[in-house]
Structure 1
Amino acid sequence: MSKNKKISITAAAIAVVIAGVLGAYFVPVQSIVTIIPTTQEEQEKYDALGVAQRFILTSPTFSFDGDINTLKTEYVGSTKSIPPEHMFKATFESAHGGFGNRDGQMLTEAITPHIVEIIISEGKVISAVTDDVWDELNHQYVLKPKLPSHDEPISPFDGIVTDYASLVNGIKSRGILVEQKEKLDDSPFFVPTVVLSVGGTDIQVYEFESESDAKAAMQTISEDGTQIGTSIIRWIDVPHFYASNKIIVLYVGQNPEITSLLESLLGPQFAGM
């Protein structure tokens, strides 16, 4: 076989190998379906989707500990307003509980699913709320409407909370629904734990035999509320301890309406974050 023929055969073999490698490399790419917008409306939706996807990656809650492998973004709909508002829903899982940038905060290690509702208008995110409670744009909890009220007649209240009964009366006097959910025999203070639902939010009430007993129990709680006696407590959210006369009240959460209500009835928190 001549030298020229050998070179031709070798070149052809190399070309076949290269073609095979390139074909194998590009097969996954060719399997991706690209949707090309055909109308202005579709183009606006497509552009808005891109804005939503880029936003969620930098949003405080997701960027702190979101799992990129669980992130999904889908189109929900649009308004008839001018300019239109495009609505999207993003879902993902975080490695911890809570919202936003939690640097320096006590974290709960628990896989936490989230839903973010995003509204986009004229290429900008105008609203982004996670789980109906956290404002991603303003980095704060959403101030919800007033707490649910009850239909019972409102009894007069002199404003002084001394025990469990007067606490319940004080809450009812504000027109807020309150009911006992359960009573537990054990607690860190060796008195029963009464769980109250206040407008749908749980608080814990500890009633003592006397005010001096309540004050003694207060001394066992650390300033930040993470330790009671010798026990270290890992709360699922921010703890708030309040006290008045014979009772200690604990609220774990960050609803500003609940904290404002308790402060108005019991005074400022004496321990917590």
Structure 2
Amino acid sequence: MRSLVRIGVVLLVAAGLSACAGQGPAGAPKGEPSSTSVVVSSDGKVVDHVSLVNNLRGRGVTVQIGNTVQQLFLRGAGIQLKVSGGGIGGTAVVESYDYDAAATISEDASGLDADGNPKLTKILWNEPPHFYRAERVLVLYVGSDSGVMKLLTDICGPQFAGR
């Protein structure tokens, strides 16, 4: 039942963000984010998925909300984000996991080794994994674009796991 609630929350967040993206200036294609429409959370601090997206957009990054995602070792509600611009070379895929409880995100974070693998298993990543955490959101980036890593470090703090 909790999984269904999480999926519902993720879908509502994604729908809300998609609706906000369609609120661009006149002439902007409906449903497409405008480079001039930026929503910033009240204090600019990243605390959850929505404030992560707002912070990225506030830094000039184009964010395309993708499908829900799941890593078996993470219990947060996951959304795929395609990011570009703002110092990123090309387009990168980032996964954002939103958590309801601080204890749950702390448990999931502590379940990762320093190299970014779950402590109970080994994953054959196709590129180096990088895990970041800010309040109730855990961010996973698998790749080596220094622009993405600098951006995530700037808004979430240093990676806590990964290579």
CA distance in 2, matches of 1:161, 1:224: 24
CA distance in 2, matches of 1:185, 1:270: 19
TM-score of the two chains, using structure 1 as the length reference? 0.43
Q: Which residue of 1 aligns with 2:124?
A: 234
Alignment of 1:211-222 (within 5 A): 211-222=102-113
CA distance in 2, matches of 1:185, 1:259: 21
- Read off the aligned partner of 1:213 and give its amino acid letter: T
CA distance in 2, matches of 1:186, 1:262: 19
Gaps of 5+ in 1: 1-148
Alignment of 1:61-76 (within 5 A): none
CA distance in 2, matches of 1:207, 1:248: 7
Q: CA RMSD in A?
A: 1.8
Aligned residue pairs, count? 124
Q: Secondary structure at the match of 1:228?
A: coil
Q: Which residue of 2 aligns with 1:151?
A: 35
Q: Which residue of 2 aligns with 1:250?
A: 140
CA distance in 1, matches of 2:71, 2:125: 17
Q: Which residue of 1 aligns with 2:22?
A: none
Asked if the contact 2:75–2:108 (Cα under 8 Å) also holds between the matched residues in 1, the reply is no
The structure, 1 or 2, with the larger RCO (C-alpha pairs under 8 Å, 6+ apart) is: 2
TM-score of the two chains, using structure 2 as the length reference? 0.70
Change (3 A) 1:191 1:155: closer
Name the larger-Rg structure: 1
Q: CA deviation at 1:187?
A: 3.4
Alignment of 1:99-248 (within 5 A): 150-157=34-41, 158-184=43-69, 187-199=72-84, 200-225=91-116, 227-248=117-138
Change (3 A) 1:245 1:224: same
Deviations 1:142-200 (A, max 9, x none): xxxxxxx9523223453310000000000000111001111035632133321110112
Asked if the contact 1:187–1:193 (Cα under 8 Å) also holds between the matched residues in 2, the reply is no
Asked if the contact 1:159–1:265 (Cα under 8 Å) also holds between the matched residues in 2, the reply is no
Identity %: 28
Asked if the contact 1:186–1:192 (Cα under 8 Å) also holds between the matched residues in 2, the reply is no
- Read off the aligned partner of 1:263 and give its amino acid letter: T
Q: Secondary structure at the match of 1:224?
A: coil
